[in-house]
Amino acid sequence: MPTALITGASRGLGVQIARALNPTHDLLLGGRGSSELDDLATELEGAVTLPVDLTDHEAVEAAVESIDSLDVLVHNAGAMSSLEAVADTPVDEWRYILDVNLVAAAELTRLLLPALRASGDGHVVFINSGAGMRVNGRWTAYAASKFGLRALADGLRAEEPSLRVTSIFPGRIDTDMQRDIVAREGDQYDAANFLTPETVAAAVAQAIATPADAHPTDVVLRPTRR
């Protein structure tokens, strides 16, 4: 079977992407070392964990150096910013959110490009956000990281014609992180207002399963109730 590496696989959307790809792919599950990551590997028999912090670039390089062929790379890992106005966002916050959401994805892609090329039909999927297409007030730092991620995907697609590169732009998803965001916004949480992780994972799996004569470049999903 082809092999897929999924970052941020220990919780939320990453778990559902792993479950969606499990029937058709051998899985490498990336994430910080945790019992959740180990439990998922046990559930998905044959899956292998890559317990590493993506912002530790030396550790990441060591973790992936033995991968000589890779069919699918799903960039799912990411972090949320503090939702402050530009006037109140310190430089350390800018560095953190750009490092996690953009620089880490760029470096992992660079390290795995030889393996993706070697597969003959490599596919890179970037889990982006509605914030990668539109900026709202107090979301500027996060949106900047996601606009950058979109540019990374578009540039990679132009530079690597042998690869397929897909950006997924989901609206808000029903996750623990979303509950935290809504609480910070001071609103009541209603899961029915958001996409389910399973729905977004199904879109990822469908993009990857697209026949080779088509290149799914951008997939936009919006909750029907928002």
What domains are there in the chain, each with its CATH number? 3-216 (3.40.50.720)
What rounded mean pLDDT belongs to the chain? 96
pLDDT digits (tens, 9 = 90+) for 88-133: 999 999 999 999 999 999 999 999 999 999 999 999 999 999 999 9
pLDDT digits (tens, 9 = 90+) for 33-90: 999 999 999 999 999 999 999 999 999 999 999 999 999 999 999 999 888 999 999 9
- Give the residue ranges of DSSP H helices in 22-102: 35-43, 57-64, 91-98
CB contact set of 31 (below 8 Å; sequence gap of 6+): 7, 8, 9, 10, 11, 14, 37, 49, 50, 51, 77
Statement: residue 226 has pLDDT above 70: no
Beta-strand pair 48-51/26-31: parallel
| Nearest C-alpha neighbor of 5 from the set 24, 15, 18 | 18
Statement: residue 164 has pLDDT above 80: yes
pTM (2 d.p.):
0.96
